[in-house]
Amino acid sequence: MTDQKLELELNEAGRASATPGSVDDLGILDKTLHLVSNCALNMACEILQLELGNMNLRLFGSPGKFYGQAQAHVTQAQGTRFGFYARTCPNVESIVRSTVQSHFQSDPTVAPALLRMHFHDCFVQGCDASILINGPNTEKSAFPNRLLRGFDVIDDAKNKLEAACAGVVSCADILTLAARDSVSLTKGVGWPVPLGRRDGTVSLASDTDNLPAFTDSIQVQVQKFADKGLNAQDLVTLVGGHTIGTASCQFFINRLYNFSTTTATGADPTIDPAFLPQLRALCPQNGDGSRRVALDTGSQNTFDDSYFKNLKNGRGILESDQKLWTDPATRTIAQRYTGTIRGLFGLRFGVEFARSMVKMSNIGVKTGSQGEIRRVCTAVN
């Protein structure tokens, strides 16, 4: 898409949204995400995203509101806002984006790694970059986080930002932007990110006990998300981030052997029988437990809704993933990402993922005089 066409469509969308409430909220959101997702990764894109952010502010009336649903639910940004660094570090988004893109070009697996890191950060102490702090008893050292990767990407971006505008941009905002850019780079939608988070000064391994786990029941998962102000739709949507990335055999091999006495194979009965031989070939019973398998078979490098189609066909990899389809509490939501069901309109995964990410990235944020702006992301000042 040319810059001229983008500008034309942006102007049209802006005129349509000039009067709050005069247009369908979801329609404008679709337009916004369409424009951003078709934007090149360059400075023109940065300007476009800022303009789109301003457009959304006009639509919803104040900096504290972002992205609506048909039911008029509006995500509240807790002290973060668009254009936070407009005067103090105007190139922050392009610097982070180019850094993530550079690492992604040499190692595409860094995209799901950054997305997972952001999730693990926000669910412990809020989105305050406490996951980045080094130390023997920090979050980074805890068992659920030992396989996290991508820390070098954040450090690289921080070094570049310190050179451009020292002491201004928080590590928490860098990680939030990097997660968004990871989705864009894997052909998912982009979205304007409200900024202004500050970095936490506490990071304890013991605080990671309540991170959602692959062995959790849906009831437990729903409660863990509710504790963070997220609902069941946010749960299904955010777990849909598994459309990119992989999992080690050790985390699901129990489903393949001696799982159930109700099947002749002894495997989890929710696994598609035609898919089982493929999984067993990848993860032999006494094989290498560290071998990695795509979480979204056939589409592990593309951010799309095929993850939910795999769940529908009994091809979820983690037990907790497949339960999203088999448990009545979440099944209808998962079904709606595969199309219209029983008179309910289907959901657009990209649109809903952006909305849920904005909600998640504002969990327990520190703003104003709270926390600090770290000089390096791996240690408090």
Task: Quick: pLDDT tens for 175-210.
Answer: 999 999 999 999 998 999 999 999 999 999 999 998
120 assigned to active site: yes
pLDDT at site 47: 41
Is 139 annotated for ligand binding? Answer: yes
Question: How far is residue 174's CA from residue 197's CA, in Å, rounded to a whole number?
Answer: 9
Higher-pLDDT residue of 218 and 64 is 218
Which entry of 73, 103, 118, 120 is annotated as an active-site residue?
120
Residue found under tokens 């327990």: 364
pLDDT at site 381: 96
Mean pLDDT of all residues in 3-9:
42
pLDDT at site 120: 97
Task: Quick: pLDDT tens for 250-282.
Answer: 999 999 998 887 778 899 999 999 999 999 999
Closest CA to 37 of 26, 48, 51, 27: 48
- pTM value is 0.81
pLDDT at site 235: 97
Is 124 annotated for ligand binding? Answer: yes
Is 212 annotated for ligand binding? Answer: yes
Using only the alpha carbons of the chain, give its radius of gyration.
21
- 64 band by pLDDT with thresholds 50, 70 and 90: very low
| Integer angstrom CA distances of residue 32 from 17, 36, 206 | 11, 6, 40
Is 94 annotated for ligand binding? Answer: no
Is 130 annotated for ligand binding? Answer: yes
Is 201 annotated for ligand binding? Answer: no
Is 128 annotated for ligand binding? Answer: yes
Task: Quick: pLDDT tens for 317-364.
Answer: 999 999 999 999 999 999 999 985 655 556 789 999 999 999 999 999
Mean pLDDT of all residues in 287-313:
95
pLDDT at position 128 over 60: yes
pLDDT at position 22 over 60: no
Is 242 annotated for ligand binding? Answer: yes
- Catalogue all structural domains in the chain, each as residue range(s) with its CATH number: 3-61 (no CATH), 92-209 (1.10.520.10), 218-359 (1.10.420.10)
247 close to 320: Cβ distance less than 8 angstroms: no
128 CB-near residues (< 8 Å, 6+ apart): 121, 172, 197, 198, 199, 200, 364, 365, 366, 371
pLDDT at site 133: 98
- 53 band by pLDDT with thresholds 50, 70 and 90: very low
Mean pLDDT for the chain overall: 83
